[in-house]
């Protein structure tokens, strides 16, 4: 039975949390396969009394809010154990059942020295900084590749854990003291920190790859929820201004242990305009009143760090690139409501780089830094569309915008978002 991946098609914050929640009642398991608590996924749940409840998920998959779903943290994730229990406790306090969570024994943990290295590296880089979330993500993935990482399973054998921490600190301790002039933590301190939650952790830990493949054999539906997005992917993103994990559809397989042939559907989440948090190139970025309008109406502030998100027009070159890299079968176009109130809505269809037209992402990073958008101007609309529930109810120009963007972006737009809540959704083609 099917495995479905949800991926971000831009630089993150496209509305993956809402999309996951939308499918939550129809899938059996939701897997986070990459990243860690650098993510911030918002889910707004309508209550029977007409109010709504808002949740911000960081380390946990958004599917934890869907009562019939088993939430899974896959092997591709990096886990800050303290944050894990803070998030679980906060959800429990709000009445969410978190008892079904499963965590891969092969996921890596984020020791506190990697949070220190992340922050101090950014300071050290000065104007060349990436604008990371400071959660220790990059250094922990670097340790994984460098084969000095600590895995969840290591926490269950203190003598092995101690040896691994000693090995890691042999290097990281020197980096902290000799390069960054910071205090290196003692081995005991780190061992104690990592063991603090081990009893609570034990019942959740298993071979999640085995579990997920067996459930697929049983006919269950597995949803793989990405953190971050295509342009932040360590291989396919705007390197070095990226995160350190594989956020794309292929990463859904390596990060979960589900083989590629079992993935039937790839749902790309794309905002009707573009945002980016942190440093790095962004061709359609706006520095004018239009950008300020998108920021204000779209409430574009990061869920994790509270930083203002940079805003710009829709970039169809990027969407096509995301469709290609991920094999997107369906797009969910989010936040169309935020585009209400413009006479014209520009859409970037190609780039001009030094007088040369680029219809695809330039392969050279400097070219991308110098890419000037070539815009097509689509007629805008002024009607409030937040109550529209069918495609036909949308004003003609909003429909034309969706159809034009669809024709440029390399896959059908199956769902359109017109507000943050689950109900504020127009389904053109059912996803599951």
Residues making contact with ligand IMO (CB under 6 A) = 8, 12-13, 38-41, 130-133, 135, 137-138, 227-229, 232, 243-244, 277-278
Residues contributing to the site for Mg ion (CB under 5 A)? 13, 40, 303
- In the complex with Mg ion, the residue whose CB is nearer, 133 or 208, is 133
Strand, helix or coil for residue 357: strand
In whole angstroms, the minimum distance from the beta carbon of 84 to ligand IMO comes to 16
- In the complex with ligand IMO, the residue whose CB is nearer, 139 or 173, is 139
When CB distances are held under 5 to 8 angstroms depending on the partner's kind, the choice from ligand GDP, Mg ion, ligand IMO, none that residue 268 binds is none
Q: What are phi and psi of 304, to 5 degrees?
A: -95, -45
Residues contributing to the site for ligand GDP (CB under 6 A)? 8, 12-18, 40-42, 44, 303, 334-335, 337-338, 417-420
- In the complex with Mg ion, the residue whose CB is nearer, 14 or 154, is 14
- In the complex with ligand IMO, the residue whose CB is nearer, 60 or 345, is 60
In whole angstroms, the minimum distance from the beta carbon of 90 to ligand GDP comes to 16
When CB distances are held under 5 to 8 angstroms depending on the partner's kind, the choice from ligand IMO, Mg ion, ligand GDP, none that residue 137 binds is ligand IMO
Contact 315, 410 (CB under 8 A): no
Percent of the chain that is helix, strand, coil (3-state, to 5) = 40, 25, 40
- In the complex with ligand GDP, the residue whose CB is nearer, 306 or 355, is 306
When CB distances are held under 5 to 8 angstroms depending on the partner's kind, the choice from ligand GDP, Mg ion, ligand IMO, none that residue 337 binds is ligand GDP
When CB distances are held under 5 to 8 angstroms depending on the partner's kind, the choice from ligand GDP, ligand IMO, Mg ion, none that residue 149 binds is none
In whole angstroms, the minimum distance from the beta carbon of 374 to ligand GDP comes to 27
- In the complex with Mg ion, the residue whose CB is nearer, 28 or 87, is 87
When CB distances are held under 5 to 8 angstroms depending on the partner's kind, the choice from Mg ion, ligand IMO, ligand GDP, none that residue 419 binds is ligand GDP
In whole angstroms, the minimum distance from the beta carbon of 121 to Mg ion comes to 23
In whole angstroms, the minimum distance from the beta carbon of 308 to Mg ion comes to 14
In whole angstroms, the minimum distance from the beta carbon of 310 to ligand IMO comes to 10
Catalytic residues: 13, 41
In whole angstroms, the minimum distance from the beta carbon of 411 to ligand IMO comes to 20
**Per-residue H/E/C for the chain:** CCEEEEEECCCCCCCHHHHHHHHHCCCCEEEECCECCCCCEEEEEECCCCCEEEEEECCCCHHHHCCCCEEEECCCEEECHHHHHHHHHHHHHCCCCCCCCEEECCCEECCHHHHHHHHHHHHHHHHHCCCCCCCCHHHHHHHHHCCCCCEHHHHHCHHHHHHHHHHHHHHHHHHHHHHCCCCCCCHHHHHHHHHCCHHHHHHHEECHHHHHHHHHHCCCCEEEECCCCHHHCCCCCCCCCCCCCCCCHHHHHHCCCCCHHHEEEEEEEEECCEEECCCCCCCCECCCHHHHHHHHHCCCECCCCCCECEEECEEHHHHHHHHHHHCCCEEEEECHHHHCCCCEEEEEEEEEECCEEECCCCCCHHHHHCCEEEEEEEECCCCCCCCCCCHHHCCHHHHHHHHHHHHHHCCEEEEEECCCECCCEEECCCCC
Residue nearest to ligand GDP (CB): 417
- In the complex with ligand GDP, the residue whose CB is nearer, 160 or 303, is 303
Residue nearest to ligand IMO (CB): 278
Per-residue b/e over 324-343, b at no fewer than 16 CB within 10 Å? ebbbbbbbbbbbbbbbbebe
């Amino acid at each position: 039975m099917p495995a479905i991946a949800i991926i971000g098609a831009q630089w993150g914050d496209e509305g993956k949390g809402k999309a996951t929640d939308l499918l939550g009642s129809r899938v059996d398991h939701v897997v986070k396969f990459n990243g860690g608590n650098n993510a911030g996924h918002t889910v707004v749940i309508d209550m029977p009394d007409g109010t709504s409840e808002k949740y911000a998920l960081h380390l946990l998959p958004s599917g934890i809010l869907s009562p019939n779903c088993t939430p899974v943290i896959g092997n591709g994730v990096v886990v800050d154990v303290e944050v894990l229990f803070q998030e679980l406790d906060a959800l429990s306090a709000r009445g969410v059942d978190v008892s079904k969570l499963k965590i891969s024994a092969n996921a890596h943990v984020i020791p506190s020295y990697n949070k220190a290295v992340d922050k101090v590296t950014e300071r050290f880089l000065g104007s060349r900084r990436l604008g990371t979330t400071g959660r220790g993500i990059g250094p922990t993935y670097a340790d994984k590749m460098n084969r000095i990482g600590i895995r969840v399973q290591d926490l269950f054998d203190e003598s092995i854990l101690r040896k691994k921490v000693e090995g890691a600190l042999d290097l990281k301790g020197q980096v902290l003291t000799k390069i960054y002039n910071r205090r290196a933590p003692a081995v005991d301190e780190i061992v104690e920190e990592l063991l603090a939650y081990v009893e609570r952790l034990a019942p959740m830990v298993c071979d999640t790859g085995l579990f997920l493949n067996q459930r697929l054999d049983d006919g269950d539906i597995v949803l793989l929820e990405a953190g971050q997005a295509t342009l932040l992917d360590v291989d396919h993103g705007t390197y070095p201004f990226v995160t350190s994990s594989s956020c794309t559809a292929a990463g859904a397989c390596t990060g979960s242990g589900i083989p590629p042939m079992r993935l039937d559907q790839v749902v790309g989440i794309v905002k009707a305009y573009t945002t980016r948090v942190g440093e790095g190139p962004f061709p359609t970025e706006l520095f004018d009143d239009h950008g300020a309008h998108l920021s204000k109406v779209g409430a574009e502030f990061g869920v994790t760090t509270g930083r203002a998100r940079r805003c710009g027009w829709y970039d169809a070159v990027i969407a096509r690139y995301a469709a290609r890299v991920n094999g997107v079968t369906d797009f969910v176009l989010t936040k169309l409501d935020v585009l209400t109130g413009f006479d014209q809505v520009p859409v970037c269809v190609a780039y001009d780089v030094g007088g040369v037209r680029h219809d695809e992402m330039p392969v050279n990073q400097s070219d991308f830094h110098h890419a000037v958008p070539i815009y097509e101007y689509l007629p805008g609309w002024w009607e409030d569309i937040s109550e529209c529930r069918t495609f036909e109810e949308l004003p003609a120009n909003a429909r034309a915008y969706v159809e034009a963007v669809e024709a440029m972006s390399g896959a059908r737009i199956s769902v359109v978002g017109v507000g943050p809540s689950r109900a504020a959704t127009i389904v053109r083609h059912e996803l599951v």
